[in-house]
Amino acid sequence: MGSTKTNPGNYFEDFKLGQVLNHATPRTITEGDVSLYTALYGGRFALQSADSFAIDCGLQAAPIDDLLVFHIVFGKTVPDVSLNAVANLGYADVRFLAPVYPGDSVQTTSEVIGLKENSNGKTGVVYVRSTGTNQLGEVVLDYVRWVMVRKKDVDAPAPETVLPDLPEVVDPANFQLPADLDFSNVDATLSGSPHFFDDYDVGEKIDHVDGMTIEEAEHMMATRLYQNTAKVHFNQHMMKDDRMGRRLIYGGHIISLARGLSFNGLGNAFFIGAINGGSHTAPTFAGDTIFAWSEVLDKADIPGRSDAGALRIRTLGVKNATCEDFPDKGEDGKRDPNVVLDLDYWVILPKATV
Amino acid sequence: MGSTKTNPGNYFEDFKLGQVLNHATPRTITEGDVSLYTALYGGRFALQSADSFAIDCGLQAAPIDDLLVFHIVFGKTVPDVSLNAVANLGYADVRFLAPVYPGDSVQTTSEVIGLKENSNGKTGVVYVRSTGTNQLGEVVLDYVRWVMVRKKDVDAPAPETVLPDLPEVVDPANFQLPADLDFSNVDATLSGSPHFFDDYDVGEKIDHVDGMTIEEAEHMMATRLYQNTAKVHFNQHMMKDDRMGRRLIYGGHIISLARGLSFNGLGNAFFIGAINGGSHTAPTFAGDTIFAWSEVLDKADIPGRSDAGALRIRTLGVKNATCEDFPDKGEDGKRDPNVVLDLDYWVILPKATV
Amino acid sequence: MGSTKTNPGNYFEDFKLGQVLNHATPRTITEGDVSLYTALYGGRFALQSADSFAIDCGLQAAPIDDLLVFHIVFGKTVPDVSLNAVANLGYADVRFLAPVYPGDSVQTTSEVIGLKENSNGKTGVVYVRSTGTNQLGEVVLDYVRWVMVRKKDVDAPAPETVLPDLPEVVDPANFQLPADLDFSNVDATLSGSPHFFDDYDVGEKIDHVDGMTIEEAEHMMATRLYQNTAKVHFNQHMMKDDRMGRRLIYGGHIISLARGLSFNGLGNAFFIGAINGGSHTAPTFAGDTIFAWSEVLDKADIPGRSDAGALRIRTLGVKNATCEDFPDKGEDGKRDPNVVLDLDYWVILPKATV
């Protein structure tokens, strides 16, 4: 008999279309989190690294890294959405809508926007739109993800299938840059890259060159920092009996590593405007070394902004192999087995340079 | 010949009844420490996680986790009290007396309140009452611990045996909750648990379900963060010749892990009012996975507070075994060998819920 | 074909005498960095540990540890100076010129002050003077280092050989202590050491006793915190094919460990006035346990200060061996193979004690 006080999580039949889940554990994001994030990923984007640089760009201080906000907002959804998940299937329409500064407190709410029971009758897919807000109630992040969740009672009736209408690509017209941001005089020496919006071409591929090996302590500290409670990341006693016999690394850890590596080639990509979609195509484990490469998929102006433009980027994370040959799908359509991440997102770069 | 400039620590014959030890290394506790504490233990108690939640409870900001304060106050005593200790025998009368906020500076003073030479004439037990104060001189923590310490000179005369009178259980009348605290409108959705003071019954057992594997880097970073200098935690060159051949994990690291795990079942236990006693019943090493379960030993009102009550909890930390069967002493009186921690303490919960 | 967007670093023939390199990635140093630094090295110098102690010494708050400032200022030079380095040959004239407080933003500029092509025609030695400044433009750190850098084109003509004139020892007349600093009433109990400037003798040797074992996660987190991008520290996929088959630990990590250990014997050495020189005499790897010992080489008054004096110290870092016999060069002139660090520097201690 299990305790009646612990959180059993939700099973597929517990989710109802239109249901709103107010998630627990509001979280103040601080300079301490920023330092740990730097220690874990080695980020060098100047806007997030120095108040002085951010102030020169019109901001009040260095904003919190977009992905750190994402991981913390995401972490709150785990106990309610994915504690009984079989698989995290995808993301879409991930939009960063307001900067977060040290001292801001964020919390997360989700709405069930789609349900589809699988034909095996044992699992179903749940689509949720999750919204992170700050202490003023302003939305800082909004995104959709879908997960495959177990049914507790296989005899529970299947809900009506409803699939949400999701954009394949977020329209840059939806981007919300900080009102006080001014990218018209960015110092390319301090930023560490002479390449701005106009310097990138659609179709261009960039090998980010560097590799980063992951330790157990690192990915666990990261994932706990995000208050993400998924057991597979922390509990070796359980995972030793799993198929791989190892603790799985949180997929978001790989996204942050790939983004950190992407500085070498995309050093002025200061903001993530949106994530269009992404998949974790293979698991990663402690001891793996992560490399990354990117392809420019598209370029777009941002309505109302003459100082900044958006690049649609596809970044692939690759384990234990360098990327000078841009490992991807082969002619047979099969993905290179070393590819662990395939992320489609918009980054925002200044158009001008000093 | 050893250097005359390094700290040799105190030996049993150096301690005198009534002696006051003003410990070194005052320490400002900051948001950086809070982030590391979250990264190490994954705490989710809402009051310590978010300024916004703490402000809704009448406080000025999220207070520092009680155990983080304990570890830092405790760490200062190690160079003077336990550098030549054979064993850390016990704690009693541990009372958290004022909240600590980021920016506060704490320091520690101890008084020798008991002495007893062991019959072997080689070691003795020293009882100290240690008091942590903030930069205003306010007491934030007060506790007794006793340790077995080596004699340097076995011919040194034995002191008169004096044993302090220690409470087996701290009286909740001694709790000092923050004056501005108001638990009358706690948001059970944000806190992550619908269970408040009135929902717990004496005798109730809770399996906290989750497990957390420990890495060397984690426990060493934690113990250094507390400026605890006990050599056994850090020096593998020395410990390789020890009986176990491994670095020992600081017992307080296990207490913090167990407290972190206890969120799943005790999510509204926002404060530790007092620790009545505790023992580290077996050593832990890197690679161990820690689980925990708790039993409600008692319930008490807190004088002068209608919004909060106290639960006396016994939490057992267990290594490399799940707790659905509540591992404890067997019928033969022998403790389950997987049990590594047996902690008796009071937690403070709101009585009301929104 | 490599990407044209990534940083190839400079090769020997790219450096010109008098050339100024404005390095990228300004960095705000925060309380979060301080906490991580404590967690990584366990520092106990009271001045850096507590605002309360620093305020009692006339400062506005606890200053950032000198070596943390050094590592961050140094890290910025790596992409421009040593990305194609074969070896980091030495430091000289390292002077700490103004305290850095949490919230200050630092950036780094270097000037090429010497060049010498090696006789093999494949490499050359580059001397740079690097200067770290804060957000007000004040110089906080100034130092010289020289590195051996590969030529890209072995047929590139050799530059005229110019060797800078470097002091073997920094003159204490060049020290700049904070204007508001007052060491005339330092509390020896809180500082943790009764030994002040007058208590040390030239020629005195101190075994710092304690040992600290290093984990991969620790040195990588440290080195990323410093935004130091040297590949050898992070990329096991590359290093597995290296001669040692291991990731190399950043030499600065060993300096910080040795400085942390030196508290036990030099507890009042609150500031590093200058580093005269240093060499990393053998590589270190995860799993190594670091010990340290020091010798007092000289003593000096500091012009204009009656409350503080300077000790010239030589600290040796030693791996996997204790230091009670002060491992060093033998009678045959050969260095003990366990010695990994030989650092010559000035520390600043109060003259008076309370």
Q: Where are the domains of chain C?
A: 16-151+167-184+191-350
Contacts of B128 (CB under 8 A, 6+ apart): B21, B77, B81, B110, B111, B112, B113, B144, B145, B146
- Is B237–C211 a contact, with Cβ atoms under 8 angstroms apart? yes
- State the number of CA atoms in the 13 A half-sphere of A208 facing the CB: 27
Structure tokens at B293: 């379960």
Distances from the Cα of A310 to the Cα of A170, B329, C111, angstroms = 11, 64, 36
Q: CB distance from A286 to chain C under 8 Å?
A: no
If you average pLDDT over residues A255-284, what whole number do you get? Answer: 97
**Phi, psi values for residue C69, rounded to 5°:** -60, -45
Q: What does the CA dihedral C158, C160, C161, C166 come to, rounded to 10 degrees?
A: -130
pLDDT tier at B164, thresholds 50, 70, 90: very high
> Which chain A residues are Cβ-neighbours of B39 within 8 angstroms?
36, 221-222, 224-225
C114: β partners: C127
Structure tokens at B29: 């506790």
Q: What does the CA dihedral B55, B58, B59, B63 come to, rounded to 10 degrees?
A: -80
Chain B: residue whose CA lies nearest to C287: B236
The CA distance from A235 to the nearest CA of chain B, in Å, is 5
Residue in C57, C64, C65 with CA at minimum distance from that of residue C352 = C57
Please give the helix or strand (H or E) that residue B107 lies within, else none. Answer: strand B105-117
The whole-chain average pLDDT of chain B stands at 96
User: Considering Cα of A175, then A178, then A184, then A185, what sign does the dihedral take?
Assistant: negative
If you average pLDDT over residues C134-159, what whole number do you get? Answer: 96
Which of B25, B27, B237 lies closest to C289 in CB terms?
B237
Residue in C270, C277, C284, C266 with CA at minimum distance from that of residue C339 = C284
3-state secondary structure of A317: strand
Supply the angle between the helices A66-75 and A216-225 in degrees, to the nearest 10. 70
As to burial, measured by CB atoms within 10 angstroms (0-12 exposed, 13-18 middle, 19+ buried), residue A52 is buried
At residue B332, the pLDDT reads 87
H helices of chain C, where? 31-41, 46-49, 51-56, 66-75, 188-191, 216-225, 236-239, 251-261
Surface of A (24-83) touching C: CB under 8 A = 30-36, 38-44, 46, 49-53, 62
Question: Within its chain, how far is the Cα of B329 from the centroid?
Answer: 22
Q: What whole-number distance in Å separates Cα of residue A316 and Cα of residue B225?
A: 36
Q: What whole-number distance in Å separates Cα of residue B271 and Cα of residue B287?
A: 30
Q: CB distance from B208 to chain A under 8 Å?
A: yes
Q: What whole-number distance in Å separates Cα of residue A170 and Cα of residue A300?
A: 11
Q: What is the pLDDT of residues A10-28, one digit of tens each?
A: 999 999 999 999 999 999 9
Q: What whole-number distance in Å separates Cα of residue A214 and Cα of residue B39?
A: 16
> Which chain C residues are Cβ-neighbours of B104 within 8 angstroms?
none
Distances from the Cα of A151 to the Cα of A8, A84, A120, A121, C109, angstroms = 13, 9, 11, 8, 60
User: How many residues appear in chain A?
Assistant: 354
If you average pLDDT over residues C296-305, what whole number do you get? Answer: 96
User: How many residues appear in chain C?
Assistant: 354
Q: How many CB pairs under 8 A join A and B?
A: 142
Q: What is the pLDDT of residues A231-253, one digit of tens each?
A: 899 999 999 999 999 999 999 99
A128: β partners: A112, A145
At residue A85, the pLDDT reads 87
> Which chain C residues are Cβ-neighbours of A65 within 8 angstroms?
none
Within 10 angstroms of residue A332's Cβ, the number of other Cβ atoms is 6
pLDDT tier at B353, thresholds 50, 70, 90: low
> Which chain C residues are Cβ-neighbours of B2 within 8 angstroms?
207, 209, 324
> Which chain B residues are Cβ-neighbours of C287 within 8 angstroms?
236
Q: Which residue has the tokens 């580093």?
A: C275
Structure tokens at C127: 């001397």
Tell me the residue type at C332.
Answer: D
pLDDT tier at B1, thresholds 50, 70, 90: very low
**Strands (DSSP E) found in A101-178:** 105-117, 123-133, 139-150
Within 10 angstroms of residue C110's Cβ, the number of other Cβ atoms is 23
As to burial, measured by CB atoms within 10 angstroms (0-12 exposed, 13-18 middle, 19+ buried), residue A172 is buried
- Is A5–B41 a contact, with Cβ atoms under 8 angstroms apart? no
Q: CB distance from A265 to chain C under 8 Å?
A: yes
In this structure, whether the domain defined by C16-151+167-184+191-350 belongs to CATH 3.10.129.10 is answered with yes
Judge if pTM exceeds 0.80: yes
Please give the helix or strand (H or E) that residue C226 lies within, else none. Answer: none
At residue B88, the pLDDT reads 87
Contacts of C4 (CB under 8 A, 6+ apart): none
> Which of these ranges, A199-203, A330-334, B292-296, has the smallest mean pLDDT?
A330-334
At residue A354, the pLDDT reads 55
Q: To the nearest whole percent, how much of chain C has pLDDT over 90?
A: 92
